Structure 1
């Protein structure tokens, strides 16, 4: 099987981390981008080196999916550690194991502590639980790869307490841009759903309270779905089985062909197959289908299980992001959730770089009344946020002039070079959170950056890498940026070093005054 370019890069990056002695590393791929294929190829590489590999997951469907993809893509067969099935005595070098089975002391003790050389954790955002940690601590000499869909910063910070690095990340916007996932259009349904009385449990809303809070709105939601999506193939996520069953009946009464699946459904496989074959056009579930199920023809997702956890939200939306013949986009229906808390996930959180941009995007989508392409909204929101920051920066620069600072403020530099990744950077791993070293601070100052504003080693490292890359690419230096932007020129960080040098030389030759034929606000250097 030939890997896509990003999949091959991911495979190589993981091996590089392990080769460099980083034992616990992460792979982040959006749902639908072939994470199982990537780690299957990583497993193949390790088996070629003579290693034994354990694949850990928390659900039977994920284990079966991993075993199936591994055999199809590499020819490798697996032994199983699940309930009464055991791998002991098997000559297969790959074992897929249920964490609920593997965590038991009697199971673990059947293996030497160094029996497995490599451990793969599917859906790695679960790995901080006691059950996973018991297995990982037992085989503590193994290299570990955690695989997860796009997490939010809170998830990454939590994962950073166990993993030492992020080997490779492929973002949802990039996957859409490069044609590997379906474009997403978001539509806010103008229904005010009151969640202010819903309690919290384990950092998210309580399912039991959510079901009760949703009940009064189900008929209105169904009517809105009929208005905007009656010709779509829809998956609906709800908080409770009884709410899911009730909503299915309401949908059927207004004309949809709806079915419901839950953990107790005896005919689950038949219903899923019928939905795949278009005998139903709506499938309701109470969070059963967030992992381990694919139906690429789904072109509408309705999230009636509001959440603050981005990884969970991404999993739900991911049921509709795969490509399919004739499918032009995924329609994602959002609602005007009224809550006293502001951390609720919206479509914007799938691609927004930070909360500031997510809020601007959500406001745009809510006000539009029509489906909007998420990428286009993100671009506009980013421009608006940048404009607001520039206004605030102008005030800050006015104050800086008084202090006659000879170095460039990091924020000015980030804004000038339009580096959103620097402006919204949040440290994740332990070393990134530590204070910047003396050598980092000296290097930043030498390159023209005011170092006192940098409060962690991760930001300092990223900034130094960017400065070196800019030097190699022949772009403006921080000192050039400071000199010209203090004189009213805009976005000097996007200019070449030579363009800035020529202009500064002209200003110097004019007695350090700007020549009369130059308007700093409108000036653009010749390319």
Structure 2
């Protein structure tokens, strides 16, 4: 099987990380970009070196998929570690293992700690959990590759607590631009769904409370779906099985051909096959189909399980990003979720580089009232954010310039009062070498000294002491020095406060012009 360019690049990048001594590395590929094919080829490379490889996953479907793809793309067969099945005694070099099985102490102890040379973790965003860590810590000598579709930097930071590097990342926008995934259009529906009373559990919204909050809106949501997507093939994600079943009934009453699938569905395979073949045009589920299920003809996704976890959101949307003959785009239906405390995932978060751009994108999509292409919106939002930043920076610089015009540079002040001890000051003690305190900076600025030019606490202390001494002695202030020396008067630092004040008052009374008969170069401040 010939790999696409980015897949081959990923394969080589992973091997390079391991060759360079980085043992735990990550591969990030959007759903539908062939992550299983890539790690199958990586496995083939390692087996050719004589290694043993373990593929770890948390669900049976993922293990079966991995074994199937591995055999089809490389010809390698697998042994299995799952429930009653064991790989002990098998001559196969590759083992696919369920983490729930492998984590058990009795199961682990059957293997030598160096039995596996390489471990592949499918859906790696799960690997921070205790069950995965127990297995990974046992086989701590192995090279590890984590594979995930998460687009989120928050998730990446979490993964960074275990993985040492990101070997390769292929982004969703790149995949869409290259024609490997379907373009995505987002439409925000004008329904205000109130989640303000929903609490959190394990870092996300509590499913049972989301279900209760969602219940009053199900009829209206079904109406909006009929208005905007009645001719599409739709997957709907809901918080609970009972909500999923209730919504399926409502959709059928509206005219959809809807069905529901859950973990207890005995005829699950048959339902999914019927949906694939077009017997139904809506498939409702309670978070069952987030991983390991593909139906490329899906061209509309409805997320009724609001979440703040980007990896979960991208998994849901990923059920509709694959290409299919006649499919022009994936339509994402979003809602005006109302919540006071948490940042929700919206379509914008799939491709936005940062939260600022995501917010600008979400605002654009909400205000449009029509489906908008995410890439076009992202480009416009990114430009708008940069323009806003530049405008804010220009204002800030203007304010700083204005502020600095009113302050005197410390060196000018030192020269004016002829304070060589201040000009030549070098900090000696530890506390003196540290930066000025916030209080020192505020006091210096209040007294008319530009604080940015003072880089240590010792100098700040000496300056403040000198300013206090000058105040007691009735000598000129920094602000008087700045004003008069800017008009050509020399060594104003030696003048008295009162003399400087009288001269400034005369200049003010003369329309801020120097009165006739006064030559700044010769004036002594008497």
**Residue 281 (1) aligns with residue 281 (2):** yes
> How big is the shift at 1:393?
2.1
Equivalents in 1 of 2:104, 2:74: separation in Å?
Answer: 30
Alignment of 1:74-93 (within 5 A): 74-93=74-93
CA contact (8 A) 1:150 1:171 kept: no
Equivalents in 1 of 2:401, 2:112: separation in Å?
Answer: 66
Aligned partner of 1:308 in structure 2 is 308
Equivalents in 1 of 2:208, 2:396: separation in Å?
Answer: 49
Equivalents in 2 of 1:315, 1:78: separation in Å?
Answer: 26
SS at match of 2:358: helix
> How big is the shift at 1:152?
1.3
Alignment of 1:168-179 (within 5 A): 168-179=168-179
> How big is the shift at 1:82?
0.1
**Residue 253 (1) aligns with residue 253 (2):** yes
SS at match of 2:166: strand
Alignment of 1:5-404 (within 5 A): 5-398=5-398
Aligned partner of 2:466 in structure 1 is none
> How big is the shift at 1:153?
1.6
SS at match of 2:77: coil
| C-alpha distance after superposition, 1:69-89 (max 9, x if no partner) | 000000000000000000000
Structure with max Cα Rg: 2
Equivalents in 2 of 1:189, 1:12: separation in Å?
Answer: 44
| C-alpha distance after superposition, 1:119-176 (max 9, x if no partner) | 0000000001000000000000000000000231211111000000000000001100
Equivalents in 2 of 1:365, 1:120: separation in Å?
Answer: 39
SS at match of 1:290: coil
CA contact (8 A) 2:222 2:251 kept: yes
Equivalents in 2 of 1:403, 1:232: separation in Å?
Answer: 60
> How big is the shift at 1:400?
6.9
Aligned partner of 2:414 in structure 1 is none
| C-alpha distance after superposition, 1:337-369 (max 9, x if no partner) | 011124100000000000000000000000000
Equivalents in 2 of 1:179, 1:193: separation in Å?
Answer: 35
Unaligned runs of 5+ in 2: 405-451, 453-526
Alignment of 1:436-447 (within 5 A): none
Count of residue pairs brought into register by the alignment:
405
Equivalents in 1 of 2:115, 2:305: separation in Å?
Answer: 42
CA contact (8 A) 2:151 2:350 kept: no
Aligned partner of 1:414 in structure 2 is none
SS at match of 2:366: helix
| C-alpha distance after superposition, 1:307-344 (max 9, x if no partner) | 00000000000000000000000000000001112410
> How big is the shift at 1:392?
1.8
Equivalents in 1 of 2:19, 2:215: separation in Å?
Answer: 54
**RMSD after superposition:** 1.3
Aligned partner of 1:471 in structure 2 is none
Equivalents in 1 of 2:323, 2:287: separation in Å?
Answer: 22
SS at match of 1:336: strand
Equivalents in 2 of 1:118, 1:29: separation in Å?
Answer: 20
Equivalents in 1 of 2:11, 2:400: separation in Å?
Answer: 47
SS at match of 2:283: strand
> How big is the shift at 1:395?
3.1
Q: What's the TM-score, normalizing by structure 1?
A: 0.76
> How big is the shift at 1:278?
0.3
Q: What's the TM-score, normalizing by structure 2?
A: 0.76
| C-alpha distance after superposition, 1:182-228 (max 9, x if no partner) | 00000001001000111100000000001111110000000100000
SS at match of 1:26: strand
> How big is the shift at 1:399?
6.2
CA contact (8 A) 1:56 1:98 kept: yes
Equivalents in 2 of 1:36, 1:232: separation in Å?
Answer: 28
> How big is the shift at 1:277?
0.1
SS at match of 1:259: strand
Equivalents in 2 of 1:393, 1:87: separation in Å?
Answer: 62
